[in-house]
Amino acid sequence: MSIDEPSLARLMAAAQRGDRAAYRALLADCRRWLTRYFARRIAPHAVDDLVQETLVSLHRKRATWDSGRAFLPWLAAIARYRWIDMLRRQKDEAELGEGDAAVAAGDEAVNARLSLERLLGLLPAGQAQAITLVKIEGASIAEASRITGQSESLVKVNIHRGLRKLAGLVESE
Amino acid sequence: MKNASIDELIEGLADDLGPVRPRRIARGWLLVGAGWLAAAVLLLRAFGMRHDVAAMPEMSMLCFWLIAAVAVAAIGSALRMGLPGVGRDYSGWRWAGLAALALPVAALFVAMGDGRAAAQAMHDDGRCLFVGLLAGLGVGGALFAWLRAGAPTSPTRAGWVIGLAAGASGATVTALHCPVDNIVHIALWHGGAVLIATLAGRLALPRWLRW
């Protein structure tokens, strides 16, 4: 079963009216969509936490979706906000946990326009690279410095600046 | 929650579901309009209205509408920030703000032309600044409440824009109160309230707007 915009929008409209069955179906679909959305864009062991946090935000902010507008761009804005928030909270040099096999992204790509790659692509290359290596792939600052040729302090500065810039770009296409 | 499985979380959220009233921009405008009006009525009752409101000199009239346009643009942007979505654009307020810089720039040239008159115009007991800041609380409070309940994806930007909207709406109330028709006075004391409110919004609000 594919996850498509019209049926999500229908379920969400029903959920706003208080329809629990529709809401359960919506959350299950969003869970699958989000798992793919975050795949390979956060340390694999963090994907579940991030999906849960995003579902909680969806729940708390469910009144901010306007049924006159598309659902997925709304969900993507919330997901991007939670993603950046988690990247910021993550300690550098996070150790890869047990069972950190990469989460398969699946064949269905998320809408490229809404994707996290697209968001990272808005950053200068050095910042995007530092964030990807350290915050997403779990490299240490020293390793990232070797790979990128940036000094260790530049890696840190690039991560800091890049995350700050990302926070202002959440809703950019 | 960390250890609970996502299935349990979904069950919990579904059990917690109650109907919500979808937030609409139009209702936000009503809320903000009410805040604007209430602040204006209260302050103009307390401090008085200039006697020639209907027949203001052209220059004061122009300043009033210019600042009102900034307020409306900033309010529109701030309201939209509460309902997020990838692909939304909130930059409208920047252009209005840029256009309103005509005011301080013009004041600067006037002041350079006649320094002594300008120095005189700069004298003020601070009442205009005070009225402007106080009057801005109506719109500022309404927007803050709107965005706390909304989902602004950039709390920093939201802080800036709430501050600007509050300051500019407050300055329109000052314009109805203050009888001084001097561009240096208006730029400094009415515009000063906009500047202070914008900075205050940036400094004080973002931490309360995170979600």
Query: Is the per-residue pLDDT at A100 higher than 80?
Result: no
- Exposure b/e, A108-128, CB count within 10 A at least 16 = b: eebeeebbbebbbeebeebbb
Instruction: Identify whether the C-beta of residue B164 lies closer than 8 Å to the C-beta of residue B74.
Output: yes
Q: Which of B17, B80, B86, B88 to mutate to test the interface with A (most CBs of A within 10 A)?
A: B86
Q: Compute the count of residue pairs across chains A and B with CB atoms less than 8 Å apart.
A: 118
Instruction: Identify whether the C-beta of residue A83 lies closer than 8 Å to the C-beta of residue A52.
Output: no
Query: Is the per-residue pLDDT at A96 higher than 60?
Result: no
Query: Is the per-residue pLDDT at A99 higher than 50?
Result: no
User: Closest Cα of chain B to A166: distance in Å?
Assistant: 10
Task: Give the residue-averaged pLDDT of A102-120.
Answer: 70
**pLDDT reported for residue B120:** 81
Q: Is the ipTM of this structure higher than 0.90?
A: no
Asked if A23 lies within 8 A of B17 by C-beta distance, the reply is yes
Measured CA to CA, the distance from residue A64 to residue B22 in angstroms comes to: 6
Q: How confident is the prediction for chain B on average, in pLDDT?
A: 91
- In chain B, what's the furthest Cα-to-Cα distance? 74
Query: Is the per-residue pLDDT at B194 higher than 50?
Result: yes
Going by pLDDT thresholds of 50, 70 and 90, the confidence category of residue B2 is very low
In 3D space, the residue among B108, B192, B205 whose CA is nearest the CA of residue B161 turns out to be B205
Measured CA to CA, the distance from residue A133 to residue A131 in angstroms comes to: 6
**pLDDT reported for residue B53:** 79
Task: Give the residue-averaged pLDDT of B142-154.
Answer: 96
Task: Give the residue-averaged pLDDT of B128-137.
Answer: 94
Structure tokens, A68: 């006159």
Residue with tokens 């309201």: B79
**pLDDT reported for residue B3:** 46
pTM across the whole model: 0.90
Q: How confident is the prediction for chain A on average, in pLDDT?
A: 87
Measured CA to CA, the distance from residue B147 to residue B159 in angstroms comes to: 10
Asked if A113 lies within 8 A of B86 by C-beta distance, the reply is yes
Asked if B154 lies within 8 A of A168 by C-beta distance, the reply is yes
Measured CA to CA, the distance from residue A35 to residue B85 in angstroms comes to: 19
The tens digit of pLDDT for each residue in A22-42 reads: 999 999 999 999 999 998 888
Asked if B151 lies within 8 A of A172 by C-beta distance, the reply is no
Task: Give the residue-averaged pLDDT of B122-127.
Answer: 81
**pLDDT reported for residue B117:** 80
Q: In B, which residues are within 8 Å of A59 by CB distance?
A: 13, 16-17
**pLDDT reported for residue A73:** 95
Distances A64 to A76, A145, B20, B84, B151 between C-alpha atoms, Å: 13, 42, 10, 7, 7
